[in-house]
Amino acid sequence: MPEYNSAVLHELLDGCLKKNRRSQELLYKQFYGYAMSICLRYTRSREEAKEILNDGFLKIFTKLESFDQSRSFKNWLGRIMINTALDHYRHEIRHEVLDDVEAADQVFVDETVITKMAHEEIISLIQELTPAYRLVFSLAVIDGYTHEEIAEQLNISVGASKSNLSRAREKLRMMLSKINIDNYERVSR
Amino acid sequence: MKEFPDDELDKLFRKSAEELDSNFDPQDWNTLKNMLDEKDGRTPAAWFKKWWPVGILALLMLGGLTTYFLANKEEKNVVKKENQYALAEKAGNKISNEKPANENISSKKAESDFTESGSNKDASGTEEKSGRAVSDSENRITTNSDKNSEIVKAEKLKESDEELFEIPAKRKKNILKSENRKTLPRRWSKTGGVYLAPNHSIGRRGDGASLSDLDLKIEGFLKPDFEKTKPEKPDQGISNLTDSEKPKDSKNNFPIVDKVTEQVKNTAVSNELSRLNISASELKSRSLVWKKLNSLPEVEVKEADVPPISEPVKAVSEKDPTPKFAVRFGYSPDISSVGLKNFTKPGTAVSLLIEYAVLPKLYIQTGVARSSKVYKAEGGEYAWPSSWNDQTARPYSTDATCKVIEIPLNLRYDISSNERSRWFAEAGASSYYMQNEKYNYNYKPHTYGVKWNDWDGSTGWYLLSHINASAGYEYRFSKKLSLLAEPYVRIPVKKVGFGKVDLFTTGIWFSIRYTPVFKK
């Protein structure tokens, strides 16, 4: 990743403040991958991720004057993407009942198989989680939110946040185990 | 195979999330670009969405002005025609009333002769007739001079007529010149006035009058009349006669003016002519002082003056009853704020109001207005809902976009008015129905514990929440339609909305007002 708080970035941001489409396009291209990686792990599909990504960039371009340029633009952008994803979750899936995870047996995973998996495949496992588990897992494990913060963001209790995280991990282990078994069966044939 | 501990699992997914770098898809940028264009109003649809009320208003104003100018033009034509008829009738009546008293012995003949000499074309023929008559016998000269005097009188009446109507207005002058000029003298020719000046008025027109010696014999009594009716450029008219059109074999080949003055000074007047002179002098006091309007009893200028011209117009306008009902459709930019500061871009408002006149100048007004109120509230101005107190972080500002239905109840008073326009003032109260409220909460960067980034919903009715005050100008461009411009304010007396804000609104209504006519 390049150093974002550079002179080039400031120039781009100035252009974006003037609603210059070329500057906006360049900024969009530069942070597209980073923003998309965030959106993917908060959504069920790539299409949904694109929707959130563009909503997030629209917020960025329309509220850029509130950005403190002495701080990290990348962090600010990441936070906006997460908040947009959370907004999306609140609006679209707020009434969805949290499904429980079946009590899993002890799961064993072959690390050699996992290391061969592409990053996209691993992230796609997160996408297969239910929204509540996906958000708690992403917020807690990848974006470093505390359970208190997660509880506030998702309007749930801290205990529910911890529980959801635990169940999300169990679910992911099961998925990885399933991948192991499938690979083993494929190799053994 | 081994058990996969939590930290290992977390590490795996964290690493994948950090290293995942999706490829740029240009289609995604195009989608965002369209969204930005729409947001900035750069697309035709967005532009139309933003400016359609202004466009409709502009079209209405254009249509109104066109209607006004067309209607005004037709009205002027009608008034002009009415005036012409009124004037012609008035003058005709007056003269015909006077006619029996002033009718003279040769009126019929003079009329027929005048008819012939009424145009320039016929004038020369009359003149020729006159010339022959003079050379034949003195009696016939008298007869012809009667004819000529009739012609002269008629011409003078024309002149006096013109002078008369030059005074009121140009328009009247045009009317008279175009139509009455032809009709009035013909009637007036019957009113008497027999022994008048010879046909030098024809000479004035350059038709080539010439006089015989016998003509000159009667010039003595004509001199005062001639002097009074001296043309503005006598020499020119006469020179035309003498230089270009006099018959070569005529013995009267000298200028009329010279002849006249010579005859007045030197020629001995015969008894017959003396008699004629006397009678002409007698008539002179009645009919030859054309410049004085009242000296023509048969004309009675005063009565033929201005009133008939303007009366029909006033009569029409004054008879219009003051309508009781009116309907207004209006558009206004809606400039809203909390605490008279932080004004943002204006929203829009449309209204449909009904007015009823409880007194001639006092209307009661109600209806419905729908507005989009865009405003910004600072942290302290937006009351944070108590049910959200589990979030400790507070926004430093709130961006709001609210769709509001407003029911006003106002009194309107016409301060001053005339036929076309009026100034008015309004006051009253409004009830707000918060139809849709959208709030975006702005937090400072790196604020943690943010749970609520936005809210949308409806909080319903706020009865008599605002006081209204406005003043405006109304321009009426037809009997039923008028345009209004009306700056207004909505002063809060109650807090409204989800954030309980004191919402102040101002703007200017551009309205079209329709006054229906109910047939009895």
Q: Which DSSP string corresponds to B90-158?
A: HHHHHHHHHHHHH--TTHHHHHHHHHHHTSHHHHHHHHHHHHHHHHH-HHHHHHHHHHHHHHHHHHHHH
- Residue A29: list chain B partners with CB under 8 A: 24, 29
**pLDDT per residue as tens digits for the range B464-478:** 999 999 999 999 888
pLDDT band at B89 (very low <50, low <70, confident <90, very high): low
Closest by Cα among B266, B203, B263, B267 to B230: B203
The CATH number linked to B400 is: 2.40.160.20
Give yes or no: residues B336 and B379 share one domain.
yes
* B97-104 average pLDDT score: 48
Residue B245 belongs to a domain = yes
The pLDDT of residue B274? 54
**Per-residue pLDDT, B10:** 87
pLDDT, one tens digit per residue, over A30-45 is: 899 999 999 998 988 8
Please identify, in words, the CATH class of the domain defined by A111-188.
mainly alpha
Q: Pick B451's closest partner by Cβ from A28, A33, A152.
A: A152
Q: What is the pLDDT of residues A111-123, one digit of tens each?
A: 665 666 778 888 8
Of residues A188 and A179, more confidently modeled: A179
pTM: 0.39
User: Quick one: pLDDT at residue B320?
Assistant: 52
Last residue of a domain, one of B314, B342, B372: B314
- Candidate ranges A110-119, B94-103, B445-454; pick with highest mean pLDDT: B445-454
Q: What average pLDDT does range B132-149 have in this prediction?
A: 48
**pLDDT given at position B43:** 64
Residues in A touching B391 (Cβ below 8 Å): 152
Asked if pLDDT for residue B41 goes beyond 50, the answer is: yes
> What pLDDT is attached to residue B179?
45
Instruction: Give residue limits of the domains in chain A.
Output: 7-93, 111-188
Average pLDDT in chain A? 82
Flag whether pLDDT at B409 surpasses 50: yes
Alpha-carbon distance values, B124 to A122, B117, B288 (Å)? 120, 8, 24
Helix (H) / strand (E) containing B307: helix B307-318
CA distances from A124 to A96, A172, B19 (A): 21, 11, 14
Mean pLDDT of chain B: 69
- Indicate whether B425 and B442 sit together in one domain: yes
Q: What share of chain B is helix, strand, coil (3-state, %, to 5)?
A: 50, 25, 25
Contacts for A71-76: CB closer than 8 Å, 24+ residues apart: A71/B445, A71/B446, A72/A4, A72/A5, A73/A4, A73/A5, A73/A9, A73/A13, A74/A1, A74/A4, A74/A31, A74/A34, A75/B446, A76/B445
**B260 and B277 inside one domain:** yes
* A112 touches B at CB < 8 Å: no
- Shortest distance, CA B3 to any CA of chain A (angstroms): 5
Judged by a CB distance cut-off of 8 A, whether residue A36 touches chain B is yes
Contact B32 A83 (CB under 8 A): no
Closest residue in chain A to residue B32, using alpha carbons only: A54
d(CA A177, CA B1): 10
R_g over Cα of chain A: 19
Chain centroid, CA B379 distance in Å: 54
pLDDT for the residue numbered B159: 53
- Whether residue A122 and residue B14 make contact (CB cut-off 8 A), yes or no, is no
Residue of chain B with shortest Cα separation from A16: B36
- B72 domain-assigned: no
Q: Which of B314, B332, B347 is the last residue of a domain?
A: B314
Which pLDDT score is estimated for B20? 81
Question: Taking 80 as the threshold, does the pLDDT of residue B287 lie above it?
Answer: no
User: d(Cα B215, Cα B149) in Å, to the nearest integer?
Assistant: 12
Q: Does A94 touch chain B (CB under 8 A)?
A: no
Q: What is the pLDDT of residue B190?
A: 46
Over residues B168-180, the mean pLDDT reads: 48
Query: B173 pLDDT exceeds 50?
Result: no
Banded model confidence at residue B370, pLDDT cuts 50, 70, 90 = very high
The residues of B whose Cβ lies within 8 A of any Cβ of A are: 1-4, 6, 9-10, 12-25, 28-29, 31-33, 35-36, 39-40, 390-391, 442, 445-446, 448-451, 453-454
Measure B408 CA to nearest chain A CA, in Å.
35
Query: Is some CB atom of chain B closer than 8 A to the CB atom of A28?
Result: yes
Phi and psi dihedrals of B181, rounded to 5? -60, -35
In this structure, is residue B218 part of a structural domain? yes
What is the reported pLDDT for B236? 45
pLDDT at B69 over 80: no
How many CB contacts within 8 angstroms connect chain A with chain B?
121
How many domains is chain B built from? 2
Percent of chain B whose pLDDT exceeds 70: 51
Q: Which two tokens stand for residue A68?
A: 């403190």
Q: Taking the C-alpha atoms of B240, B241, B242 and B247 in order, what is their torsion angle to the nearest 10 degrees?
A: 130
CA distance B33 to A100: 41
Which token pair is B463?
């009865």
Determine the residue of chain B that is closest to A60 in CA distance: B36
Q: Please check the confidence at residue B396 and state whether its pLDDT lies above 50.
A: yes
Which value does ipTM take for this structure?
0.81
In a domain, B464, yes or no: yes
Chain A environment of B17 (Cβ under 8 Å): 37-38, 41, 119, 123, 138, 142
A150/A157 Cα distance (integer angstroms): 9
In B482-512, which positions are buried (b, 16+ CB within 10 angstroms) versus exposed (e)? bbbebebebebeeebbbbbbbbbbbbbbbbb
Reported as a pLDDT band with limits 50, 70 and 90, residue B155 is: low
Overall average pLDDT of the B173-182 stretch: 46
Among B1, B21, B442, select the one facing A37 at the smallest CB separation. Answer: B21
CA distance B458 to chain A (A): 16
The pLDDT tens digits for B324-336 are: 889 999 999 999 9
Q: Average pLDDT for residues A63-91, to the nearest whole number?
A: 87
**Strand, helix or coil at B24?**
coil
Pair B339, B381: CB distance under 8 Å: yes
Report pLDDT for B248.
45
Q: How confident is the model at residue B401 (pLDDT cuts 50, 70, 90)?
A: very high
Between A54, A108, A173, which is nearest B35 by CB? A54
Nearest CA in chain B to A41: B17
Average pLDDT of B448-455? 81
Look at B201-210, B262-271, B295-304 and tell me which has the smallest mean pLDDT.
Answer: B201-210
Q: B285 pLDDT exceeds 90?
A: no
CA of A92 to nearest chain B CA: how many angstroms apart? 14
Q: Which of B314, B344, B369 is the last residue of a domain?
A: B314
Higher pLDDT, B175 or B493: B493
Tokens at A184, concatenated: 């083993």
A61 touches chain B (CB under 8 A): yes
State whether residue A108 sits within 8 Å of chain B by CB.
yes
Task: Please check whether residue A107 touches B, CB under 8 A.
Answer: yes
Point out the residue among B19, B35, B390 whose CB comes nearest to the CB of A152. Answer: B390
Strand partners, B416: B423
How confident is the model at residue A9, as a pLDDT?
A: 86
Cα(B290)–Cα(B299) distance, integer angstroms = 11
Does B413 have pLDDT greater than 80?
Answer: yes
Distance from CA of A160 to the nearest CA of B (A): 16
**Mean per-residue pLDDT for B96-124?**
45
Q: What is the pLDDT of residue B403?
A: 94
A42-46, A122-126, B25-29, B286-290: which range is least confident on average?
B286-290
Identify whether B76 is part of a domain.
no
Q: What is the mean pLDDT of residues B510-519?
A: 82
Please report the pLDDT score of residue A110 as a whole number.
60
Q: What is the pLDDT of residues B436-445, one digit of tens each?
A: 999 988 888 7
Residue B468 shares a structural domain with residue B406: yes
pLDDT at res. B295: 47
Percent of chain B with pLDDT over 90: 22
Position B7 in a domain: no
> Is the Cβ–Cβ distance between B147 and B130 less than 8 Å?
yes
Structure confidence at residue B45 (pLDDT) = 67
B239 plus B368 within the same structural domain:
no
Q: Is the pLDDT of residue B198 over 70?
A: no
Q: Name the band, by pLDDT with cuts 50, 70 and 90, for residue B406.
A: very high
**Residues B229 and B130 both lie in one domain:** yes
Given a cut of 60, is residue B242 above it in pLDDT? no
Tell me: do B281 and B331 sit in the same domain: no
Q: Give the pLDDT score at B117.
A: 42
Of B2, B446, B451, the CB nearest to A155: B451
Please indicate whether, in this complex, the C-beta atoms of B21 and A34 are within 8 angstroms of each other: yes
CATH number for the domain running over A7-93: 1.10.1740.10
Nearest CA in chain B to A38: B17
pLDDT at B336: 92
Using CA coordinates, name the residue in chain A closest to B12. A122
Residue A103 is predicted with a pLDDT of 45
Distance from A119 to chain B by nearest Cα, in Å? 5
End-to-end CA distance of chain A: 43
**B138 and B258 in a common domain:** yes
**Neighbouring C-beta atoms of residue B100, cutoff 10 Å:** 9
What domain range is B228 assigned to?
Answer: 82-314
Instruction: Enter the tokens of residue B71.
Output: 């209607």
Calculated CA dihedral for residues B407, B410, B416, B421, nearest 10 degrees: 20
CA distance A7 to chain B (A): 21
Q: How confident is the model at residue A155 (pLDDT cuts 50, 70, 90)?
A: confident
Q: Is A76 on the interface with B (CB under 8 A)?
A: yes
Minimal C-alpha gap between B24 and chain A (Å): 6
Between B58 and B167, whose confidence is greater? B58
Q: How distant is the Cα of B29 from the closest Cα of chain A, in angstroms?
A: 7
Q: Considering the domain boundaries, does residue B356 fall inside one?
A: yes
B16 vs A36, A123, A149: nearest CB: A123
Q: In chain B, which residues have their Cβ closer than 8 Å to the Cβ of A57? A: 32
The listed range with the strongest mean pLDDT (A85-94, B131-140, B290-299, B393-402) is B393-402
Minimal C-alpha gap between B10 and chain A (Å): 6
Q: Tell me: do B349 and B308 sit in the same domain.
A: no
